[in-house]
Structure 1
Amino acid sequence: MCLGIPGEVIELNTEQPDLAKVNVSGVRRSINIGLLEDEEVGPGDWILIHVGFALSKIDEREAEAALNFLKTIGKDYEDELDALRRSRIE
């Protein structure tokens, strides 16, 4: 199962503007934010991530609700976090 997971933007990559460092349930990775070029994204913002790409900007309440739901589905959520841990976008 592939999931969209909320993550909080920690910092923007000034050398590669399509990348941002994001915290997803304690896992910190570079995520491609290029699909959000029409939106202003910065530290503290929440984004919905799928396979290393930010699909949309979401508010903190929506992120919290999604994370709470994802935690209830167990293994699929843990598998997605494991995939994120192994990923490298640079």
Structure 2
Amino acid sequence: MCLGIPGEVLTTVEGPLRMGRVAFGKVIKEVCLAYVPEAAPGDFVVVHAGFAISRVDPEGARRVFAYLEELGETNEVREEEPP
């Protein structure tokens, strides 16, 4: 089974592939935004395997974060270095 996780777009970078920094609770990752060209900082996107695949409403994203927090899956704080 595949799992997409919602995250908040923090920044975007235009280039050969549109990229951005996306926050998943306290975890921040570099994500490809090529499939959601309309995504802007402050928007929430569903990310699977490093690719944002759709936008999602903020309330839905917050519900998922709340469920993950209940499960103890958001306790780790780390940030990936850009390539």
Shorter chain as denominator, the TM-score bin is 0.7 to 0.9
Counterpart contact for 2:28–2:80, Cα < 8 Å:
no
Gaps of 5+ in 1: none
Query: How many Å separate the matches in 2 of 1:8 and 1:41?
Result: 10
TM-score by length of 1: 0.69
Alignment of 1:13-52 (within 5 A): 13-37=13-37, 40-52=38-50
What amino acid is aligned across from residue 41 of structure 2 in structure 1?
P
Larger strand percent: 2
> What is the root-mean-square deviation of aligned Cα atoms in Å?
2.8
Larger helix percent: 1
What amino acid is aligned across from residue 63 of structure 1 in structure 2?
A
Counterpart contact for 1:11–1:21, Cα < 8 Å:
yes
Return closer, same or farther for 1:67/1:48 CA change in 2, 3 Å cut-off: same
TM-score by length of 2: 0.74
| Larger displacement relative to structure 2 (47-56 or 8-17) | 8-17
